[in-house]
């Protein structure tokens, strides 16, 4: 199928094959290579990086965390952001998300907390969202020590991480958990049914295609649920939630040539219809997670738009336009 990619993205689209998620071991190796090619990031200001752990869900191990705190914040409480990594529920780790979290902390002024949630297929649903919810509770419980204003706490993520962020927002609403100021869903993985126009049409798109999504959902839902069948819980696939009212304001980002495009846009529209203040970032000519092509003008615009939405949504302090250069950040 022919795609009208942005001219700066087209050369990359031709050589970025989708990850084959049918074999988790091979997929993890491929994702480590992709993550290793990410452009490093040098913060404009100092960002202190530290390691922590949240108590895990009942019977589960602690959830490893990496905390990014802008040094310029000093002792003043400010916004906090729990941010969840990509990887189709099967791959990814804190190192893969490191440049992104540095950028987010640097450009939004938020303390960013990244959890290493358990991965499928070894740990299918509900391990991922339960680990992420435990990390949210830890962040809220340690807000004073972290310098986070509990009334300015948000959640976000990319791809599978975006889907988990939406699930945690549902869990927090339904359990009376920590209140969230906003949710930031970047090209999120939300719907196991894969019956939208984009999910059916995009069988050969870069980095992520229909086969990637099918394998991802199969691993994530595990033996208890079959993708597309009745009974898949909304905390696994947030697009299945019947009621989206009472959720935090949202920023939802969708890429044109992404199998998940239509589920992201449909979810955003349903949030709006449920009375949830929602912004949509829709980017023609892009593909799933194409911001990895950091030098493209459209990638810079996408990241700047995300930063602006987070700053306004969380009440942070914006810096200059995001850039990728040489990695920084002080590890403690």
The set of catalytic residues is 159, 258, 288
Total residue length of the chain: 332
- The answer to whether the CB of 153 falls within 8 A of the CB of 168 is no
**Dihedral of the alpha carbons of 100, 106, 107, 108, in degrees to the nearest 10:** 100
- The answer to whether the CB of 138 falls within 8 A of the CB of 55 is yes
| 149 φ/ψ sector (left φ>0, alpha ψ -120 to 50, else beta) | beta
Distance CA 86, CA 105 (A): 18
Q: Six-digit token pair at 69?
A: 């705190």
- The answer to whether the CB of 83 falls within 8 A of the CB of 100 is yes
Distance CA 209, CA 222 (A): 20
Question: Burial level of 85, CB count in 10 A (0-12/13-18/19+)?
Answer: buried
Distance CA 280, CA 254 (A): 8
Give the number of other Cβ atoms within 10 Å of residue 219's Cβ: 22
| Distances, alpha carbon 26 to alpha carbons 32, 64, 206, 210, 225, in Å | 10, 24, 17, 18, 24
Distance CA 201, CA 258 (A): 9
Q: Can the peptide bond before residue 121 be classed as cis, meaning omega within 30 degrees of 0? A: yes
């Amino acid at each position: 199928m022919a795609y009208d990619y942005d001219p700066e993205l087209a050369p990359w689209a031709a050589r970025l094959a989708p990850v084959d998620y049918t074999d988790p071991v091979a997929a993890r190796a491929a994702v480590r290579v992709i993550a290793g090619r990410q452009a490093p990031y040098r913060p404009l200001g100092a960002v202190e990086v530290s390691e922590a752990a949240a108590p895990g869900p009942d019977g589960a191990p602690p959830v490893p965390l990496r905390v990014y705190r802008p040094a310029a914040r000093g002792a003043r409480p400010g916004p906090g952001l729990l941010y969840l990594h990509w990887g189709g529920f099967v791959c990814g780790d804190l190192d893969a998300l490191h440049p992104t979290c540095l950028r987010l902390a640097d450009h939004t002024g938020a303390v960013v907390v990244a959890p290493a949630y358990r991965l499928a297929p070894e740990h299918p649903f509900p391990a991922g969202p339960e680990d992420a919810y435990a990390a949210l509770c830890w962040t809220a419980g340690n807000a004073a020590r972290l310098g986070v204003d509990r009334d300015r706490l948000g959640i976000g993520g990319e791809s599978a991480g975006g889907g988990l962020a939406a699930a945690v927002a549902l869990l927090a609403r339904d359990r009376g958990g920590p209140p969230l100021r906003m949710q930031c869903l970047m090209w999120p993985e939300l719907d196991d049914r894969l019956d939208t126009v984009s999910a059916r049409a995009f069988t050969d798109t870069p980095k992520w295609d229909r086969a990637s999504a099918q394998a991802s959902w199969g691993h994530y839902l595990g033996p208890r649920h079959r993708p597309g069948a009745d009974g898949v819980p909304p905390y696994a696939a947030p697009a299945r939630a019947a009621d989206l009212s009472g959720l935090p304001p949202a920023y939802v980002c969708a890429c044109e040539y992404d199998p998940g495009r239509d589920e992201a846009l449909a979810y955003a529209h349903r949030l709006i219809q449920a009375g949830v203040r929602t912004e949509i970032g829709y980017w023609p000519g892009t593909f799933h997670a194409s911001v990895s092509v950091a030098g493209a003008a459209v990638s810079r615009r996408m990241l700047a738009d995300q930063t602006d939405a987070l700053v306004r949504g969380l009440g942070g302090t914006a810096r200059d336009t995001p850039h990728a250069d040489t990695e920084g950040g002080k590890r403690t």
